[in-house]
Amino acid sequence: MSVLEIRNLHKGFGSLVVLDGVDLSVEKGDVVTILGPSGSGKTTLLRCINFLETADSGTMIFDETSYDLARMTRADKSRIRMRTGFVFQNYNLFRNKTALQNVTEGLIVARKMEKKKADEIGMRMLAKVGMAERADYYPSQLSGGQQQRVAIARALASDPEIIYFDEPTSALDPELISEVLAVMRNLAEEGMTMIVVTHEMGFAKNVSSKSIFMEGGKIVEQGPSKEFFTNPRMERTREFLRMEEDRETASSLNAGKNS
């Protein structure tokens, strides 16, 4: 049964077409990675399906209900958001809240949960991402990797059907990337449904179940990750994967030089 289905999603900014008819179907337990060059519309896609941008047209099927993405009511947005999680590239933790408060804020304010119960869930989620000892720290007192793990705990708190990640490791120093990837890998193993925009080829290849290559606002190729990486059908996909490989080799050589 699919958790989320997107049909014929279109989005432009002014005369610039950014999403040009995207179709997407995510099954329960799927980990879908979205790859693609800069400007291909990956972020915009995630933002449209979490209503941070309003799509020009498109249909969303979530929980067996169909929604017109161009005409979402405020109540529908809020209801669906309470059942999804979003992890930003630059974390976006609430700066005036501690790690624990970041995780519980949505539970207490949006879901009207009792504080005691929310704290209990919050601590459990922080423990899950290895941040329980830092529950009372403010974001400015945490490293990027730690902030991103708290952000993942925040996304997990509402027991979501699906979590969207927009380049969750791109803002991190190289040595902090692995701690965040490890958390995401654990989630994948527990069967969490996720859509992950990333440049981490290792994660895409080894952790995700399905990979998508986007370019120019269109999905160029998609398939089970194993096939996608060993035997990409489209020439453009092959070219992109080669380029990403070169980039990773170059950066690991650089890292070697610096150490």
Partner 1 sequence: MKILIPGLTMTIPLTVIAFSIAMVIAVITALIQYANVPILKQLARFYIWVIRGTPLLVQLYVVFFGLPSIGFRVAAFPSAVAVFAVNEGAYCAETMRAAIESVPAGQLEAGFCVGMNYPQIMMRIVLPQAFRTAFPPLFNSLIGMVKDTSLAANITVAEMFFATQRIAGRTYQFMALYLELAFIYLMFSTVLTRVQAYGEKRLNSYGGNKS
Ligand X SMILES: Nc1ncnc2c1ncn2[C@@H]1O[C@H](COP(=O)(O)OP(=O)(O)OP(=O)(O)O)[C@@H](O)[C@H]1O
According to the binding rule CB under 8 A, does residue 213 interact with partner 1?
no
Nearer to partner 1, 36 or 139 (CB): 139
- Residue 252: CB partners within 8 Å, gap ≥ 6? none
Least distance CB 49 / ligand X (angstroms)? 12
Among 139, 145, 168, 232, binds partner 1 (CB under 8 A): 139
Residues facing residue 97 across a β-bridge: none
The Cβ of residue 40 has, within 10 Å, a number of other Cβ atoms equal to: 23
Distance of alpha carbon 250 from alpha carbon 175, whole angstroms: 16
Distance of alpha carbon 16 from alpha carbon 82, whole angstroms: 31
Nearer to partner 1, 86 or 213 (CB): 86
Residues facing residue 13 across a β-bridge: 16
Do residues 195 and 34 touch, judged by C-beta distance below 8 A? Answer: yes
Here's the x/- map for ligand X, 13-52, by CB under 6 A: it reads as: x--x-x-----------------x-xxxxxxx--------
Least distance CB 105 / partner 1 (angstroms)? 6
According to the binding rule CB under 8 A, does residue 97 interact with partner 1?
yes
Structure token pair of residue 157: 């708190």
Do residues 36 and 240 touch, judged by C-beta distance below 8 A? Answer: yes
According to the binding rule CB under 6 A, does residue 6 interact with ligand X?
no
Options 2-10, 42-50, 154-162, 231-239: segment touching Mg ion (CB under 5 A)? 42-50
The Cβ of residue 11 has, within 10 Å, a number of other Cβ atoms equal to: 24
According to the binding rule CB under 6 A, does residue 198 interact with ligand X?
no
According to the binding rule CB under 8 A, does residue 73 interact with partner 1?
no
Which residues in this chain contact ligand X in the complex, by CB under 6 A?
13, 16, 18, 36, 38-44
Which residues in this chain contact Mg ion in the complex, by CB under 5 A?
43
